[in-house]
Amino acid sequence: MTLNSDFVAALDIGTQPRPSTMGSHVFDVLRQAIIQLKLKPGNAVSETEIAKQLGVSRQPVREAIIKLADAGLVEVRPQRGTYVLLISEREVKTARFLREAIEVAIARKACETTGPKEAAELRACIARQKMAEDSGVYTEFLRLDEQFHQTIARIADCESAWKVLEGLKAQMDRVRFLSIPMATPVPTLIAQHGDIAEAIIAGDPDRAEDAIRVHLREILKSLPKLSAEHPDLFVE
C-alpha cells in the first residue's frame, strides 16, 4: 500500500505537533485517501508502512486507525491486519437519512439568522462552485460542497451538529466521490445548492427544508447505478 504524494504532503510534520494532534493529521490524510479511493475497499492498511511513508511514529497511526474503524472505514482483524471496508449500501442509506434530519433542522434555523453578510457568504460559496465546475477540478468542487454545508451550520450556530455529521457521512462521501461527474452532474448539484441558499436568504424555512431534502436524496438515485458499475467496491 502506497499513499499518493499529495496526501503525504498534506501532513505537516515539520511543526512537530503533539502526538494526539499528529494522530488527527494522520486520520485526515488516511480518511481522504479512502474517500477518494486512493486506498480502495479491500486494501490492507499497514501501521508500519504508513508511519514510514509519513515520517511519524506508529502511535499516531494507531490512533488514526482506531478513529477510522469508529467511522466505519476500516476493519481491524486480530492477527490478520487492518483492511479498508467495502462500501455498505445499507449504511450509506442510514447515514443519508440521519444527515437529512439534522441538516433540515440546521437549514430551518439558518433562515432565522441570515442577514446581508451571511447572504453574501452563501452566494460566494455558489460562485466558487461554478468556477470549480468550469475548471473541471471535481475534487475542488467536493471540497467546496463540504464548505457550503459547513457554512450553513456556522450561520445557524450549529457547528457542533456539523461535527456529528462529519462522523456520520464517511460512507456517503465515498459514494459522492464516485458519483461525480457522471452519475450526478455537477451543474445539477450547484443548482440544488443555489436553491438551498436562496431559500435561506429569503428566510423561508419550508422552502429551505424542501430544497435540502431534494439535494440529499440525490444520492439515492446514483447509488444503485454505482453499485452495479463497481460491484467490487460495494456490499449489500
pLDDT tens, 58-83? 999 999 999 999 888 999 998 889 99
Q: What is the average pLDDT across 145-157?
A: 96
pTM of the model: 0.84
Q: Which of 7-11, 172-176, 228-232 has the lowest mean pLDDT?
A: 7-11
* Strand, helix or coil for residue 110: helix
Which position has the higher pLDDT, 152 or 6?
152
Q: How confident is the model at residue 1 (pLDDT cuts 50, 70, 90)?
A: low
Q: All 3 cell numbers of residue 50?
A: 504508513
Residue 11 predicted with pLDDT over 50: no
Task: Output the pLDDT for position 10.
Answer: 40
Q: Are residues 81 and 92 in the same domain?
A: no
> Are 134 and 196 found together in one domain?
yes
67, 119: one domain? no
Q: Does residue 181 have a pLDDT over 70?
A: yes
Of the residues 63, 85, 107, which one is the last residue of a structural domain?
A: 85
Last residue within a domain, chosen from 36, 55, 85: 85
Q: Are 65 and 97 in a shared domain?
A: no
Identify the pLDDT of residue 109: 98
Q: CB pairs under 8 A, 24+ apart, for 77-83?
A: 81/44, 81/45, 81/46, 82/44, 82/45, 82/46, 82/47, 83/42, 83/43, 83/44, 83/45
Q: Are residues 151 and 102 in the same domain?
A: yes
CATH number at residue 168: 1.20.120.530
Average pLDDT taken over every residue of the chain = 88
Write out the residue range of the structural domain in which residue 182 sits.
Answer: 88-235
Rounded CA separation 69/201 (Å): 39
Q: Where are the beta strands (DSSP E) in the chain?
A: 44-45, 74-77, 81-84, 87-88, 234-235
Q: Quick one: pLDDT at residue 155? A: 98
| Higher pLDDT among residues 171 and 74, named by residue | 74
Q: Give the pLDDT confidence score for residue 115 in this predicted structure.
A: 97
The answer to whether the beta carbons of residues 209 and 107 sit under 8 Å apart is: yes
| pLDDT greater than 90 at residue 84 | yes
Sign, CA torsion 140/145/150/152: positive
Same domain, 156 and 206: yes
Q: How far is CA 159 from CA 23, 106, 118, in A?
A: 22, 10, 15
Quick one: pLDDT band at residue 99, thresholds 50, 70, 90?
Answer: very high
Q: In this structure, are 163 and 229 located in the same domain?
A: yes
Residues with Cβ within 8 Å of 70's Cβ and at least 6 positions away in sequence, in order, are 167
118, 209: one domain = yes
CA 180 from chain center: how many Å?
A: 13
Report the distance separating Cα 43 and Cα 50, nearest Å: 13
Burial class from Cβ neighbours inside 10 Å (0-12, 13-18, 19+) for residue 88 reads middle
Assess whether 53 and 148 both reside in one domain: no
> For position 78, what pLDDT does the model report?
86
Peptide bond connecting 181 to the previous residue in cis, omega within 30 degrees of 0: yes
Last residue of a domain, one of 40, 60, 85: 85
pLDDT at position 19 over 70: no
Residues 108 and 204 both lie in one domain: yes
The answer to whether residues 70 and 153 belong to one domain is no
The pLDDT, as a whole number, for residue 3 is 57
